[in-house]
Every structure is written in structure tokens, then in C-alpha cells.
A and B are shown apart, each in its own frame.
Chain A
């Protein structure tokens, strides 16, 4: 299985900050990398697909980049509703696998 490693595992930031989350794959996955936002009591929400494609309806402050084994999710100016847990997922080969998550909370 392809292992996905996110860093950091937790992050404290303030409204208005710019934050970056990193995801590394154990093997090249080309650009088959998705990002999700998860809040307690709800299912994960797709933010970015295929490494850098913003899902329809997702604010433009979210962006993704990378290819091969190294990827990043950036939020340009944190809003109160952005405090959540973020997961990366490789969709290159089955079994699809997820990172362990990055919990973003308010400083």
C-alpha cells in the first residue's frame, strides 16, 4: 500500500494567517492527490482534486500544489470556518489511502 504522511499533525493559527500543510507519498502518485476538510459530525468535504484543482464551490483561499511524492495544501487567509481537520488521499492506486490528518485549531 502507498503510505501517506502529513505534517504537521496539528497546527495552531489565527484568523487571517496563511497556513500550509504538507503531504508526502511513499511512492510517486503523479498528481493523483485529493484534499478533504473534516468537521466533527459531518462527512469529509472535498476541497482539491488532482493535486491543484479547486472543487466547485470551495473558496479561492484554498489552493493545492505538488506532484510525484510531495504535495501541499495552503489556506491564504484563515477564516473562522476553516478550523477543522484536513486529510490528503492518494487516488493513484487501490487500496486508496489517506494521511493521518492535520488538526487546525485556533491559537
Chain B
């Protein structure tokens, strides 16, 4: 079964770029679409965006000017970059498989999350 693990620096300075990697195991990353989601402390979940197998990405308009996603099929990894971060970007960042069917779409499974603090 597919398993996901996020990794990256836990501390990022304001104005710098947050970079995270999600390693996928159990299947080929090129078979599925993927999403990133984040959760700030005491707040709800925020969808960051999704990336299709084609490489086409769609981002939350609230972050679209600062975010980019990509997939490295040779390493079975996806990546997230968020530029010009502020304290408001402090959150747990999750990657998840974006399952798109005829009837609907959903996120499953998720990684365990990576805490990123901007300070």
C-alpha cells in the first residue's frame, strides 16, 4: 500500500523559501495525482494545491503567487516550495494522494506531517 513521508527543515527564516519533500513508497508516484495541505496551530486544514501526473499543478489562490509543486519520478518524490515565508506560514505540512474518480475526489492516504516553524 502507498505510504508517504514528509521531510525538510523544521526551521525557516522569515523571507526565505520553505522547501519540503514527500517520499512515496509502495507504488510508483507517476500513477497518481498528489496534494499538499497544511495546518497551523489551533487552526483548521488549508488545501495548498494539487499536481497531476502530467505535471500540471493547481494552487490555492491565497498562496498561488508564492507556491510551486513538482514531482521527481526518478526518486519517487514530490516537492513543495513556498517563497517569502512569514510567521503565518508556520504549520504542519502534509502530503496526500489526490484520488480522482468519476464520482468525486478525495485525499488518501496522508503522510504523518512535517512541522515547519518560521522564525
Q: Is the CB of A98 within 8 A of B62?
A: no
Contact-size category for B: 20 to 34
Instruction: Tell me whether A11 is interfacial, beta carbon within 8 Å.
Output: no
**Using Cβ atoms and an 8 Å threshold, which residues of chain A touch B104?**
31-32, 34, 49-50, 91
Known contacts A34-B107, A91-B105; A99/B96 CB under 8 A: no
Residues of B29-84 contacting chain A, CB below 8 A: 44-47, 50, 58, 60-62
Within the complex, which residue of B62, B103, B111 is in contact with A43, where a contact is CB–CB below 8 Å? Answer: B111
Q: How far is the CA of A32 from the CA of B101 in the complex (A)?
A: 11
A interface, by DSSP: helix, strand, loop or mixed?
Answer: loop
Instruction: Write the nearest CB–CB distance from A13 to chain B, whole angstroms.
Output: 22
Q: Is the CB of A46 within 8 A of B108?
A: yes
**Using Cβ atoms and an 8 Å threshold, which residues of chain B touch A101?**
44-45
Within the complex, which residue of A45, A95, A96, A98 is in contact with B61, where a contact is CB–CB below 8 Å? Answer: A95
Within the complex, which residue of A34, A42, A95, A99 is in contact with B60, where a contact is CB–CB below 8 Å? Answer: A95
Interface string of A28-52 (1 = CB under 8 A from B): 0001101010000111111001100
Q: How far is the CA of A68 from the CA of B26 in the complex (A)?
A: 36
5 A–B contact pairs at CB < 8 A? A31-B104, A50-B104, A89-B45, A96-B47, A97-B47
B interface residue numbers (CB < 8 A to A): 4, 44-47, 50, 58, 60-62, 94, 96, 103-113
Beyond known contacts A44-B94, A46-B108: 6 more, CB 8 A cutoff:
A42-B113, A45-B108, A49-B106, A95-B60, A95-B62, A99-B44
